[in-house]
């Protein structure tokens, strides 16, 4: 079974995963806006810790209406742009298409299914350090695995084939049998590092090296774990220890929210902070320290 892929959101994450698939001869179609002319002339380039490569003539489109119907759509937009999916996705999907939401935060699948109830929707967690450093140029710094879980349909042959395609393309991919747990696991890291790197105007390594900010990060992780436990997700404190150890080994990194802030773009506060806070509170737990970071982020965003 050969799958036709679409990538909506050809930034650091969508660009990297789509390029890896295309590099290994998968049929991938990219939607581009500001980078379209540059990529058409010079191709899509990946500078990777695993080896640099480029796509000289990728399948690129400036208009969603020109894209073919695809079997699997990788959505790697910033969640601040998700409203456009109401118009985009019906144009490039068929009855059996699968939409994989490679996005941060909690609640993105819920909102998409409310808008487009007939879609087969997955959530995906990308454990990767990558950033877009120029037009048609993505820098992959570290990691790269992806966890995919179904949201509103049963796992089928097409999804299993897509996961196999990822692995064949050098992307470690696994099927999660508990998407809610996977989302909360990713939040443990995202909540602890995205907001604080913005509020303190720093990178991950500096947060880890300073004793006071290191304790803040760890306390935020523990609070997210308690929030997860409140909604029935059985995370343990040892998961925070695991995330701390992983971050100690990472190269200095600006999380996605810090990159957006530095480039004067809207930050993904709602799905990374607000929705988890609301969901945990509805289950009887108030993530007070997380809420403090959330309020600071809204203040910074509205200055």
Q: Is 185 exposed, middle or buried (0-12, 13-18, 19+ CB in 10 A)?
A: buried
Q: Are residues 74 and 204 in the same domain?
A: no
pTM, two decimal places: 0.92
Residue 1 has pLDDT above 80, yes or no: no
Give catalytic residue positions: 186
Specify which residues 173 forms β-bridges with: 146
For 57-111, the pLDDT digits (tens) are 999 999 999 999 999 999 999 999 999 999 999 999 999 999 999 999 999 999 9
> For the chain, what is the radius of gyration of the CA atoms?
19
Count of other CB atoms within 10 angstroms of residue 302: 6
Q: Are residues 65 and 195 in the same domain?
A: no
CA dist., res. 140 & res. 243, Å (int): 20
Q: Are residues 25 and 146 in the same domain?
A: yes
Which residues constitute the domain of residue 49? 4-177
Q: Are residues 108 and 22 in the same domain?
A: yes
Domain limit, last residue, from 147, 177, 207: 177
Number of domains in the chain: 2
The CATH code of the domain that includes 41 is 3.40.50.720
Q: Is 102 exposed, middle or buried (0-12, 13-18, 19+ CB in 10 A)?
A: buried
Are the beta carbons of 237 and 222 closer than 8 angstroms?
A: yes
Q: Are residues 61 and 128 in the same domain?
A: yes
Pairing of strands 44-48, 137-150: parallel
Q: Are residues 185 and 173 in the same domain?
A: no
Q: Are residues 77 and 146 in the same domain?
A: yes
Domain limit, last residue, from 153, 177, 201: 177
Q: Are residues 265 and 148 in the same domain?
A: no
For 250-261, the pLDDT digits (tens) are 889 999 999 999
The CATH code of the domain that includes 288 is 1.10.1040.10
Alpha-helical regions (H) of the chain: 12-23, 36-42, 85-92, 108-115, 157-168, 179-199, 204-209, 211-230, 237-249, 256-262, 269, 275-282, 288-301
Q: What angle do CA 174, 180, 183 make, to 5 degrees?
A: 70
For 268-289, the pLDDT digits (tens) are 999 999 999 999 999 999 999 9
Q: Are residues 167 and 185 in the same domain?
A: no
Residue 157 has pLDDT above 90, yes or no: yes
């Amino acid at each position: 079974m050969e799958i036709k892929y679409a990538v909506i959101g050809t930034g650091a994450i969508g660009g990297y995963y789509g390029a890896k698939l295309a590099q290994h001869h998968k049929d991938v179609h990219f939607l581009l806006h500001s980078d379209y002319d540059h990529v058409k002339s010079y191709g899509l380039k990946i500078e990777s810790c695993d080896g640099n490569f480029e796509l000289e003539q990728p399948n690129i489109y400036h208009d969603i209406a020109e894209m073919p119907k695809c079997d699997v759509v990788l959505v790697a937009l910033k969640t601040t742009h998700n409203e456009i999916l109401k118009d985009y996705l019906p144009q490039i999907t068929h009855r059996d298409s699968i939409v994989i939401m490679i996005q941060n935060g909690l609640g993105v699948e819920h909102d998409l299914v409310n808008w487009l109830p007939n879609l087969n929707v997955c959530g995906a967690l990308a454990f990767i350090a990558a950033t877009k450093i120029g037009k048609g140029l993505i820098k992959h710094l570290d990691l790269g695995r992806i966890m995919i879980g179904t949201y509103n349909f049963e796992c089928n042959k097409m999804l299993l084939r897509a996961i196999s395609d990822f692995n064949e393309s050098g992307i470690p991919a696994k099927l999660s049998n508990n998407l809610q747990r996977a989302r909360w696991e990713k939040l443990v890291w995202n909540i602890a590092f995205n907001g604080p790197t913005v509020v303190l105007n720093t990178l991950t390594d500096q947060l880890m090296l300073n004793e006071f900010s290191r304790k803040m990060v760890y306390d935020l992780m523990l609070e997210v774990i308690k929030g997860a436990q409140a909604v029935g997700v059985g995370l343990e404190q040892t998961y925070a220890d695991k995330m701390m150890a992983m971050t100690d080994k990472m190269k200095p990194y600006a999380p996605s929210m810090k990159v957006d802030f530095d480039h004067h773009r809207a930050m993904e506060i709602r799905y990374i902070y607000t929705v988890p806070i609301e969901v945990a509170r509805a289950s009887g737990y108030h993530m007070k320290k997380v809420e403090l970071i959330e309020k600071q982020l809204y203040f910074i965003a509205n200055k």
